[in-house]
Amino acid sequence: MHAANRPVAPGSWPATVTRQLGRMRTQTALVDDELVQQTRATYDRVAVDYDRRSQEVAAPFEQFRARFAADVLAIRGPVADLGCGPGRDLAVLRAAGLNAVGIDLSGGMLAVARHRDVPVVQGDLREPPLQPGSLAGLWSSAALLHVPRPEVAATLTTWHGLLRLGGRLGLSTSLGGQDGWELVPYAGEGPAGGDLHRWFVHHDQKDLTALLEQAGFTITSVEQRTSHRTWSQVRAVA
Ligand SMILES: C[S@@+](CC[C@H](N)C(=O)[O-])C[C@H]1O[C@@H](n2cnc3c(N)ncnc32)[C@H](O)[C@@H]1O
């Protein structure tokens, strides 16, 4: 191997190379955060419309949510709904007897949730403001799909760390394999206007399963259902 192509141990990198790599990492993180912040800004503007349109859920989703609630009721303890949006699931989980709190980045979504009289906190689901090992249950519906792909593995590892041993995960996220901006289909109807985008990351089932297992989860069930998207509904144990 030519000396110039030989891998160099990080410890022996010249300071200039280390600085360069540091800057590249920072720039990548900034781009990822920009995707998240623009998506949040869209949710701030469509929150009321989103809430109105997301009240009805399909029977398979309802069953999935009920099974997650039963999983956690059996072991008892605090639950977080990460990316809770306007709080539809949070209200149902609390009515089922769970001590659940919602976390979301969008102030607009949280304002709608507060009308439901459910406890919510503004925070980022990639680093939720929760103590490690503090949760018996972690629920997240249609929110991991907004985490930029380079950050998904770390996010799932963080989620695993928030759960106590034997804690339960209920995750619903979209399948498809591609990433990109998508126009909010109903935004043109409201005062928000017709040019609002969200960044989506649609997962491949095999890759998602592998990421969950790498994060430390033991998967107990995987179901797929199709509505306007195809969804993966995963129950898992930490
Ligand atoms: C499609 S909505 C889903 C809302 C609700 N869970 C549901 O099933 O209807 C996605 C939600 O994820 C939130 N979200 C996106 N990225 C987030 C992040 N990094 N941290 C916290 N919330 C985030 C959005 O603000 C939005 O409320």
pLDDT higher than 50, residue 10: no
Q: Which atom of ligand 1 is nearest to the CA of 43?
A: 25
pLDDT higher than 60, residue 198: yes
Average pLDDT over residues 176-183: 93
Would you place residue 167 in the very low, low, confident or very high pLDDT band (cuts 50, 70, 90)? very high
Distances (CA, A) of 11 to 8, 17, 18, 21, 172: 8, 11, 9, 13, 41
Rg of the chain over CA atoms, in angstroms?
Answer: 19
CATH fold of the domain at 13-237: Rossmann fold (3.40.50)
Pocket test for ligand 1, best of 93, 125, 173 (most atoms within 8 A of CB): 125
**What residue ranges do the domains of the chain occupy?**
13-237
Average pLDDT over residues 107-118: 97
Handedness of CA 204, 210, 214, 218 (dihedral sign): positive
| Residues 124 and 147: beta-carbon distance below 8 Å | no
Rounded to two decimals, what is the model's pTM?
A: 0.89
pLDDT higher than 90, residue 177: no
Q: What is the pLDDT of residue 202?
A: 98
Q: Whose CA is nearest to atom 1 of ligand 1?
A: 142
Q: What is the pLDDT of residue 2?
A: 40
